Structure 1
Amino acid sequence: MAETKASLDIERPTSQRTLTPSYTGSAAKKDEETPTKEDVVEDEDPNAVGWDGPDDPNNPMNWPAKKKWSCIGALSVMTLLTPLGSSMFAPGVPDIMREFETSNRNIATFVVSVYVLGFAFGPLLAAPLSEIYGRAIVFNIANVLFLIMTVATALSQNMPMLIVFRFLMGFTGSTPVTNGSGTISDIFPVQERGKAMAVWAMGPLLGPCIGPLAGGYMVEAIGWRWVFWLIAILTGFIAALCYFAAPETYAPTLLRAKAAKLKKETGNQDLYSILDKDGLTPKQRLSNASIRPMRMLFTHLPVFILSLYVAIVYGVLYLMFSTFTFVFAQQYGFGTGTIGLAYLPTGIGMLFGTMTFGVMTDVVIKKKIAQNGKTVPEDRLPIWMTLPSGLLIVGALFWYGWAADQNVHWIVPMIGVALFCFGLMGIMMCLQTYLVDAYITYAASAVAAMTVLRSLAGAMLPLAGLSMYDDLGLGWGNSILAFLALALVPVPVIFFLYGPKIRAKTPNNLG
């Protein structure tokens, strides 16, 4: 009877959604379409364990909408919380410098940006582990570690200790920011990912913006350490929420678990996940996965070029973050409490940008599917969306720089910041969803590669910010950044026009 049960359970593992990264490798075709829920892989091996048909309720793609959005909602709250640590205490930097008896302005900048440096290295571990052991266990362990590092930061007794634990906060806090995109690709079909990405992206982008607004008044009222105590308390609650509301979504992990369960029930030790046909051992998979983000960054041209674009504009954003305290204090006389208001336009611009472009990208995809019955990743890069967004970034940098340089009323440079962030979201949403659609199973690693480069830029560029402004002034300093952004404007246009050919030439080296 054991053999009969096994055959009944696995005789039709063929209705399995394609999970391979269809847009990479030399075999990629120019007209290849984005896989949808109905796509299947055929396999006649009776020992291969797959989903029980295309409508299997255990397949995360078939989860009820309520369950999907509960999962994304929990992760979005966590991705809002972890980036709060990057800048919420920024208004308290002058107090920290006095307490730890240092006057080095580079140290003052670095203690803020070192958190983002942790965001650069964390994905190199988190993304590969999630593609080996699954999303949920990596999320949960990282959340606990983030809580521990936050408490240690609150207890720091000197500047080196503060910097080290700030780095470790960023390292562990990067996991929900990195792997959330992988979860979205696990549970949402291509025509719904833009909206999901918009909701999820609000956290990591709004967190650094709204953090200083609350942090300024908190530092002034009860001291900078309570910023971290508050984050620690909130982390405890949200980590528990994620544990219950964000179950495992990664199909390879779920099918391995299903195969293991069937082995015990049937005694058939030859059963295996249909997605593990490569014959690799767990050790070999871990070895491949651990280097996958860097391999993608340096051997896959779409990942490298688009990550470079995002890294530069993201680095400019963090340069702004790290200098707002000094610019608005010196130019406009803002105090410790009110300095947080300087970060408000970034949140406003990002909020409207996220809502606008998240919805618009899905509308484009749905129209393409309705017209052609299929879609390709390049449909995420419409020229009418990416070109104005890129030019808006350029214009906003000129606006902000020269308005602040000429000491125009403080609302004027703030409007420039809001426009910059709106344009930034147009670029970020289009480019990031492009990579998610292009790499599917390895979406977490693709986004991890992008996160590494953008976080390095976010950590390093601010170190030059104050020196650049001292030497060139706010006007010409931001003008240089604007010209750099202008040089990158054609990048999405090139990928929109020639993306299929570029992807077809990328090596098939991700397995």
Structure 2
Amino acid sequence: MALMTPKIPKNWPFSKKWAVTAVVSAYTFMSPVSSSMMAPASDRIAEQYGITNTTIAALLTSIYVLAYAFGPLVLGPLSELFGRARVLQAANVWYLAWNFGCAFAQNTSQMLAFRFLSGFGGSGTLTIGGGVLGDVWRPEQRGQAIAVYSLAPLLGPVIGPICGAWIAEKGDWRWVFWAPTIVSVATQIVGLFFLKETYAPVLLERKAKQIKKGLDPEKGRMYDVRTVFAGADRQWRHIVQKALFRPFMLFVREPIIQLLGTYMAFVYGTLYLFLTTLPTIFQGVYRESIGIAGLNYIALGLGLSGVSQINARLIDVVYKRLCARNGGAGKPEYRLPSMVPGTFLLPIGLLVTGWTARASVHWIVPDIGIVIVGAGMILNFQSIQTYIIDAFTLHAASALAATNFFRSLAGLGFPLFAPSMYNALGYGKGDTILACAAIAIGIPAPFLFWVYGERLRNASHYANAKRSA
């Protein structure tokens, strides 16, 4: 039996849709803040614990991102079994508890363990949030909402180091954990009131249970009420067999996830590489204090947020115009045009930043390069995430979990090899290598999917190939 039309999330009033979007975006913002906020304070934390190995010191920050690789593989599929809201809120509470505990870690082992466990809970928003937006927004409305949502995981790691730098210079390093915990508690309270369940199979199951309770076997026939989603994969014994392995199957079997996931991993790894190397540029080359050097993260934030606002206003307009040319039928490929400039801006920004990071060049010039890098990153993220959600709507959480797994491994690995690369090659040659990789992986991607995307979706086991977007 179908739900009453007003109860379908896509038919909710705009105010309710935006309330859910705002809460999910807030969750998704706070977790990446925690991932990077301790970076400027890592030297003080390493000194406290007597850490002399630079790789271990870097791992204190990046192990949080390692948890991002594994958390979505569990939390994303569970949200498709038990509902988005329940799993998202439970994951956020888990994150809060362990992030708060990081401030009381007594040694290196405890800090590493608490950071990993905190990141595991914080990873839920990065995959479940995209699924929520896929549930709530129709394709022709979805672009602007995802533009806001996709800004959060990129802007969070920018705001975090700015705050962490001043805490490291002026205050107790434990505030890099206490501060985001306090804000996240407030966000969690708001979420309890405004974050509603959006996943259609769970909503239909709840409706079916209500109908069963309303039938009296003594007065009338007792019907066996089932939903269109009822089946073996909604039972506990199939959680491990199917749901938890679905993200891996998506990556193995879906060329869409393979190519876009690889490029997203490169972009995300570059983001965290920048987050960990900006202090060395502006403290080491330009001799700025910790707090002042942290302000250069604003350049990355300007590129991310400024272009995001422009793209948020254009992405749905472009989509609707392309749909009109196609007789009103939409396709996920209509999300790709904004990716084209992003694939060019990213290598340009890398080259500008790398070759101008010299004491003889004013600090504003590498900052301009950083702005361009941020612009390229956000255009790629928004386009890729919207494309994946449009193509894998019902399994969007698992599809995003697959891409998140590999991008999080890159977020862990890139900062670990960056110091050695830049020490051996310098910023110019090091960023040139990254720029060449960005050109080779990124620039062909939107054109390949524009030509072959529909064919790949028609051959897919999970994409919405037989339905109009």
| Residue of 430, 441, 445 corresponding to 2:398 | 445
Superposed CA offset, 1:9-47 (max 9, x none):
xxxxxxxxxxxxxxxxxxxxxxxxxxxxxxxxxxxxxxx
Structure 1 pair 407–181 and aligned structure 2 pair: CA distance change class (3 A): farther
SS of 1:441 mapped into structure 2: coil
| Distance (whole Å) between structure 2 residues aligned to residue 353 and residue 303 of structure 1 | 25
Q: Which residue of 2 aligns with 1:377?
A: 332
Name the structure 2 match of 1:104. Answer: 53
**Paired letter, 1:128:** P
Q: Does 1:89 align with 2:38?
A: yes
Alignment map for 1:228-267 (pairs within 5 Å): 228-267=177-216
CA contact (8 A) 1:405 1:475 kept: no
Aligned to 1:51: 3
Aligned runs of 1:153-192 on 2, under 5 Å?
Answer: 153-192=102-141
Q: Is the 1:86–1:116 contact (alpha carbons within 8 Å) kept by the matching residues of 2?
A: yes
Q: In 1, distance between residues paired with 2:91 and 2:461?
A: 32
Task: Name the amino acid aligned to 2:260.
Answer: L
Cα deviation for residue 503 of structure 1 reads 2.2
Change beyond 3 A, Cα 1:177–1:117:
same
Which of 286, 290, 293 is the aligned partner of 2:239?
A: 286
Amino acid at match of 2:335: R
What fraction of aligned residue pairs are identical, expressed as a percent?
A: 38
Give the gaps of 5 or more residues in structure 1.
Answer: 1-48
Report how far residue 219 of structure 1 moved. 2.2
What's 2:431 paired with? 478
1-structure distance, mates of 2:6, 2:423: 60
Is the contact made by 1:91 and 1:336 (CA closer than 8 Å) also made in structure 2?
yes
In structure 2, runs of 5+ residues without a counterpart are 217-221, 465-469
Q: Give the TM-score of the pair, scaled to structure 2.
A: 0.94
Amino acid at match of 2:389: V
Greater relative CO, 1 or 2 (CA 8 Å, sep 6+): 1
Residue in 2 that maps onto 1:5 = none
**Alignment deviations for residues 361-413 of structure 1 (CA, whole Å, 9 cap, x no partner):** 2111111233321111111112xx33322111111111100111465211111
Matched, 1:317 2:271: yes
Deviation of 1:237 after TM superposition, in Å, equals: 1.1
Greater CA deviation, 349-358 or 401-410? 401-410
Q: Which residue of 1 aligns with 2:176?
A: 227
Mapped contact 2:395–2:462 kept (Cα < 8 A): no
Contact kept, 8 Å, 2:3 with 2:207, in 1: the verdict is no
The TM-score with structure 1 as length reference comes to: 0.86
- Residue type of the alignment partner of 2:376: G
Equivalent position of 1:136 in the other structure: 85
- Paired residue for 2:225, among 271, 281, 284? 271
Tell me, in whole angstroms, the C-alpha distance in 2 between the residues paired with 1:485 and 1:281: 40
**CA 1:483/1:240 → structure 2, altered by over 3 Å: closer, same or farther?**
same
2:369 aligned to 398, 411, 416, which one?
416
Range 137-146 or range 500-509, more displaced? 500-509
Which residue is equivalent to 1:426? 379
Describe the shift of the 1:323–1:255 C-alpha distance in structure 2 as closer, same or farther (beyond 3 A).
same
Which whole-Å deviations, capped at 9, do the CAs of 1:199-245 have from their partners, x for residues lacking one? 11222111100111122112222221011011111121111111111
Task: Give a deviation string over 1:107-132, Cα, whole Å, max 9, x none.
Answer: 22221111111111110011000000
The CA RMSD over aligned residues, in Å, is 1.6
Tell me, yes or no, if structure 1 residue 498 matches structure 2 residue 449.
no
1:391 and 2:373 equivalent? no
Give aligned pairs, total.
456
Q: Does residue 356 of the first structure (1) align with residue 305 of the second (2)?
A: no
For 2:2, the aligned partner's letter is G
Q: Please tell me whether the aligned partners of residues 357 and 425 of structure 1 are also in contact (alpha carbons under 8 angstroms).
A: no
Deviation at 1:313? Answer: 1.6
What does 1:337-348 align with in structure 2 at a 5 Å threshold? 337-348=291-302
Distance, in Å, in 2 between the alignment partners of 1:280 and 1:410 is 56
